[in-house]
A and B are shown apart, each in its own frame.
Chain A
């Protein structure tokens, strides 16, 4: 079955590094857009050689901050991908954007380039929290950028980070209801994660990051989020992603449903089925090394390997159980502890799929450990 190909393009630059962020993002004094554009085009041509003709169902410009890309770079990259493969009629092309005025100015040209879905990193509707998160925009600026996006793109989503320092459940409730007022048909709501190797990670390790929610508090906020989004008609279709049915991010569904996607740009990963084998690909992660590798060897991959059938199944379970729909039951046939998890009311079996229950979803990592470890 050809569910089509997703193409991920990584843009690794930001204006400033946010203290919580462990994405492959870097602050550079200047970026030679034309060299990067050339490199993306080369990579698309090379990957096309590897995977052959396919239907291109989605593209995703992720980062970093892709809204710092020159519109020209975005346009030429989309064009090249559409030339290389056969774009689906309803191809979804998403770009991640930061909500500052500079970037909002470019929205129209991105739309012209073919971007039809914008994902905006609003993060919070409270200025004091935006400062704590090290963001360069205010809530008013973010909403302004959002309004422009709404009038520019057919589909717009935004990200919020919650379970922040000193955030009371009631405060989140208010903020979330404001957010749901704004929301079109998709929002991503992430609980703040303290990642090692980030500024927050260091501060946390040193005991200087106070006011983070304990487990019960964070569960309360998670449950509030589930309830409120559902009531607003944007139920969770994934742990942190909420959409009006039919408005899910098709590109991200490719990951969670273990489809085929190619990844280009620094640190991008891909999974591609070629001649019946599932191939994992990884690109050089430092921007300079990636660019250098593409320019000098014509190949941005640092590693490529065959994923065994067992590993592919394990990946499919790990990603698929994040979805509200769950995974096809046959994937779990050989794990006999599933029944116990069903007895506990953490998993359920629904028409050929196994999925997490409301109780199980916030325990997914523990469930996966139980099943797979």
Chain B
């Protein structure tokens, strides 16, 4: 057990690519926490997908021993938090377990939307914040300008910002000193009954569920009988360890310490993040306030391209869910796509990560249907239905009104592109809340329907601003609006997988765009195919895919049989990736591509 005064717990928060993972690497390396030969880049990003996409998805922690210039050795617990908006919730939760934050800003880029969002979360969590200006080795770095930005945009003092290069290690010793001097030591009572926060949990194929904890009061030891106060579940601790970042057994953890335990827990779902862990005997009287679990906000259908792979998909989803409590799934059947799952995600990146993992790790090709949000459908009889799938929309005659989730989006963008950003937000039914400047960059806040953001907003934002804008958002409750279900009919038949909720005033434009897009995506058939968008029984847009009129090989003799045969095999493979709707074959990509509006 370490004395409280010798512990510092902190997280690093930064906009994506500002150097959070690189800084964590340097801290680990320069304190000798990991032997040089074991070091690899971005040690805390454990999953392949994390490394590949250069993002952190799950919070990770490492315990660093640091001999400070005052002659004392300190224990520094670093929690590396996710850097993407989708996982913002995990960030705020991890922050509850520490007392300070290093706010890393790329000195060649300046403050970005996630810098802002994360800084506010740190402020909300009452953190002591140490601003860190990174990448000072780059000629483009401008520490003066960025310090001013931090002060003006975020409103925190940056006079004592630490200037570093996480790449070269320059300034990192000074940063270590600042961590010890400027961040507060945790508080707690070692003699009080055990009170520990369940910070996070993950599934490890060898160890089962590994639970990350932060001890608040009391002491925890291997072999202890513990209770999870919210779930009431009781366990015996099999193993207690600290992360360096590999697990290193610890006999005991006291107040202020962060570590992990295993206790024969089967699924991540059996643990509740934010729960209070205490001893079965002599429990604490005051559990921590806890936090509400993160809720999926984006839903879509995942169907196997090959219907025979449904069981394999069920298996893959089950395994992924073991490690990801924020990902939900329930079986769905679609007239056109067969058996699959309706899945819920924290955001679009989360959706993509899960989909990629299923396709890659489990080798199942998927059809992904249009992402949707949860609508609140208020019925005339006073009841309320949470609609996850537009295909399930009840009869409009029984609906009083529909509410949709909104977000508060913060966008930072160079002045030159502001007009494009405002137009984009306006086109997506945004309501401007604030507009201010940080030097030549505008900081805009918009209230937007989540539904308009979920699909390709981020991509569009990147493209209209040539990548110079940054974006973050927080959910901001429900609001009633004139929302209707738009159906798409291909050859007079409704295609459930293409149904979507749209705002009444945008329905026509959306329907037209959708029909035009589908006309390009569906190959021509031997008959003409009407493609229509409809609301209720009313057709609001229509395109006609003309019939194929001529398609015949002019010359074909004895030597061509083999060649034609090969071509046929290729066509067969292509056809397997299509879905039949009545008489029409629709390529699987069409289900997603039809939603992309070039604008």
Contacts and interface: CB of A to CB of B under 8 A. Distances in A.
Interface of A: 8, 62, 190-193, 215-216, 218-219, 222, 239-240, 252, 254-255, 261, 263, 267-271, 280, 282, 311, 314-315, 318-319, 322, 340-341, 344, 346, 361-370, 372-373
Interface stretch (B194-202, B337-345, B463-471, B543-551): B543-551
8 contacts: A222-B550, A239-B554, A263-B558, A267-B559, A268-B559, A270-B558, A344-B527, A369-B571
B561 A366 contact: no
Interface string B18-56: 000000000000000000000000000000000000000
Contact of A373 (B559, B562, B571): B571
A191 B551 contact: no
A8 B558 CA distance: 9
A372 B553 contact: no
A269 B561 contact: yes
A362 B552 contact: yes
A361 B551 CA distance: 9
Nearest to A161: B554
A270 B525 CA distance: 34
Contacts of B553: 193, 239, 364-365
Interface string B564-580: 11001001101100000
B557 interface: yes
Contact of A269 (B551, B554, B562, B575): B562
B550 A363 contact: yes
A219 B559 contact: no
Contacts of B556: 239, 319, 322
Contact of B572 (A8, A270, A344, A373): A373
B431 interface: no
B526 A269 contact: no
B583 interface: yes
Interface of B: 525-527, 548-559, 561-562, 564-565, 568, 571-572, 574-575, 583
Task: Give the 5 A-B residue pairs with the shortest CB-CB distance, closest first.
Answer: A373-B571, A219-B550, A269-B559, A364-B552, A255-B558
Contact of A362 (B549, B562, B564, B568): B549
B356 to A, nearest CB: 30
B44 to A, nearest CB: 49
A272 B559 CA distance: 13
A344 B526 contact: yes
A363 B575 contact: no
A280 B562 contact: yes
Residue from B549, B558, B574 having most chain A Cβ neighbours under 10 A: B558
Nearest to A285: B559
A81 B558 CA distance: 19
A269 B575 CA distance: 29
A254 B568 CA distance: 22
Nearest to B558: A255
Contacts of B564: 318
B552 A318 contact: no
A131 to B, nearest CB: 21
B550 A362 contact: yes
A145 B50 CA distance: 74
A240 B561 contact: no
B568 A318 contact: yes
A239 B552 contact: yes
A255 B554 contact: no
B554 A190 contact: yes
Nearest to B559: A269
Contact of A314 (B554, B565, B571): B565
Given A215-B548, A240-B555, 20 more contacts: A191-B554, A193-B555, A215-B550, A216-B549, A218-B550, A239-B556, A268-B558, A271-B558, A282-B562, A318-B561, A318-B568, A362-B550, A362-B551, A364-B553, A365-B553, A366-B526, A370-B526, A372-B568, A372-B572, A373-B568
Contacts of B562: 269, 280, 282
B583 A340 contact: yes
Nearest to A193: B554
A372 B525 CA distance: 15
B465 to A, nearest CB: 33
Residue from A269, A341, A369 having most chain B Cβ neighbours under 10 A: A369
A370 B575 CA distance: 10
A319 B558 CA distance: 9
B54 to A, nearest CB: 37
Contacts of A218: 550
B526 A365 contact: no
A353 to B, nearest CB: 19
Given A367-B526, A373-B571, A319 B561 contact: yes
A128 B568 CA distance: 37
B526 A318 contact: no
A242 to B, nearest CB: 13
Nearest to B583: A340
A170 to B, nearest CB: 19
A261 B557 CA distance: 12
A314 B552 contact: no
Residue from B552, B557, B561, B574 having most chain A Cβ neighbours under 10 A: B552
Contacts of B555: 190, 193, 240
Nearest to A163: B554
Nearest to A249: B557
Residue from A215, A368, A373 having most chain B Cβ neighbours under 10 A: A373
A344 B549 CA distance: 13
A293 B572 CA distance: 36
Nearest to A221: B550
Nearest to B585: A370
Nearest to B555: A190
A365 B527 contact: no
Given A240-B554, A263-B559, A318-B561, A363 B568 contact: no
A245 to B, nearest CB: 21
Contact of A363 (B548, B572, B583): B548
Nearest to B557: A255
A215 B550 CA distance: 6
A77 B558 CA distance: 20
Nearest to A255: B558
Contacts of B571: 369, 373
Nearest to B547: A363
B551 A364 contact: yes
A340 to B, nearest CB: 7
A319 B550 CA distance: 18
B558 A261 contact: yes
Residue from A254, A365, A372 having most chain B Cβ neighbours under 10 A: A365
A222 B555 CA distance: 14
Given A269-B561, A318-B565, A340-B583, A365 B551 contact: yes
A263 B550 CA distance: 32
A318 B44 CA distance: 59
Given A218-B550, A363-B548, A364-B552, A373 B575 contact: yes
Nearest to A315: B561
Nearest to A192: B554
A261 B560 CA distance: 13
Contacts of B568: 314, 318, 368-369, 372-373
Contacts of A219: 549-550
A363 B551 contact: yes
B572 to A, nearest CB: 5
A222 B550 CA distance: 9
A346 B549 contact: no
Nearest to B556: A322
A336 to B, nearest CB: 13
A189 B556 CA distance: 12
A311 B527 contact: no
Contacts of B554: 190-193, 239-240
A190 B86 CA distance: 59
A80 B559 CA distance: 23
A110 to B, nearest CB: 21
B34 to A, nearest CB: 54
A264 B537 CA distance: 65
A149 to B, nearest CB: 21
A322 B553 CA distance: 9
Residue from B548, B551, B575 having most chain A Cβ neighbours under 10 A: B551
